[in-house]
Amino acid sequence: MLKLNNIEVTYLNVIRVLHGVSLEMDDISIVALLGANGAGKTTTLKAISGLLHVEEGEVTSGNIEWNGIKINEKHAEEIGKLGIIQALEGRRVFEHLNTAENLMVGAYYRTDGRAVKRDLDMVCGYFPRLKELKHNIAGYLSGGEQQMLVIGRAMMSTPKLMLLDEPSLGLAPLLVEEIYNIIERFNTEHKTSVMLVEQNVRIALSIARYGYVMESGRVVLDGSAEFLRNNEDVKEFYMGLSTVGTKKSYREVKHYKRRKRWL
């Protein structure tokens, strides 16, 4: 159970990025964080995973609770040990290591050698492509393979909560679907919660059970995936659809842009 209570995040003591974000997440759930660029989605993830400290950011008010433990002052490695692992945006593989070594880095702090080996097979089961590429240098993998590797690396630490930052970034639609299917399978088979940050609203809401829409550092709308999928504003602003699911006619578009004010 993850709980963010009204958190504010400030970078370098001056730049406030989140203005009171609250969200809640049940165990073994999938939650999507949606919103435009600069809305604070990634910052929210980093606040949870503790990576904020690395970038001179700080939770200045409110708190983050994970199974009853306050984690907003802990460092990334302690939070990792508590079972929260973030996969960063932008396919950050270790370029000069091969695929197998990349996966092993994910299991760094685990000491049960046999279980680690079993999980290596497990990850290769989810991503059969990675098995073929075991000895290839990660820097030369294709974009899709790198994204699989990054997610696989997060799986290797057997997290209880996986934070995925834009897993669909720059990938072909077919591949996006494949990766999302795997995420969903992993969620049900391994009882791992997943928090997704996505621009691709449609695909995110297809597997998420609950979603939060963020706008300039605040949560402006939240609800079940079903609710969000049918919400007019979400449809228009994030899916590019207008009423009743029909495509928008550009003949009728006014020359000024309609903008949604959430507050």
Binding site for other proteins (CB under 8 A): 49, 51, 54, 56, 75-77, 79-81, 85-88, 92-97, 101-102, 104-109, 137, 139-140, 142, 153-154, 157
How far apart, in whole angstroms, are the C-alpha atoms of residue 202 and residue 220?
A: 18
Query: Residue 137 or residue 220: which is nearer to other proteins going by CB?
Result: 137
Cβ proximity to other proteins, 1 vs 105, nearer residue: 105
State the DSSP H helix or E strand holding residue 15, giving kind and residue range, or none if neither. strand 15-25
Q: Is 204 helix (H, G, I), strand (E, B) or coil?
A: helix
- Closest distance to other proteins from the beta carbon of 232 (Å): 37
Tokens of 156: 């290797």
Cβ-based nearer residue to other proteins, 95 or 232? 95
Using CA atoms, how far residue 85 sits from 60, 141, 161, in Å, is 22, 23, 7
Q: With respect to other proteins, which residue has the nearer C-beta, 88 or 241?
A: 88
| Least Cβ distance, residue 184 to other proteins (angstroms) | 22
Q: CB 192 → other proteins: shortest distance, Å?
A: 15
CA distances from 156 to 108, 187, 194, 260 (A): 9, 14, 14, 41
- List Cβ<8 Å contacts ≥24 apart for 124-133: 126/152, 126/155, 126/182, 126/185, 126/186, 127/151, 127/152, 127/182, 130/99, 130/103, 133/99
CB of 58 vs other proteins, minimal distance in Å: 14
CB nearer to other proteins: pick between 28 and 97: 97
Residue 89: helix, strand or coil by DSSP? coil
Query: At its nearest, how many Å lie between other proteins and the CB of residue 16?
Result: 21
Quote the least distance from Cβ 101 to other proteins, whole Å.
5
- Report the residue number, 93 or 205, with the smaller CB distance to other proteins: 93
Question: What is the DSSP code (8-state) at residue 93?
Answer: -
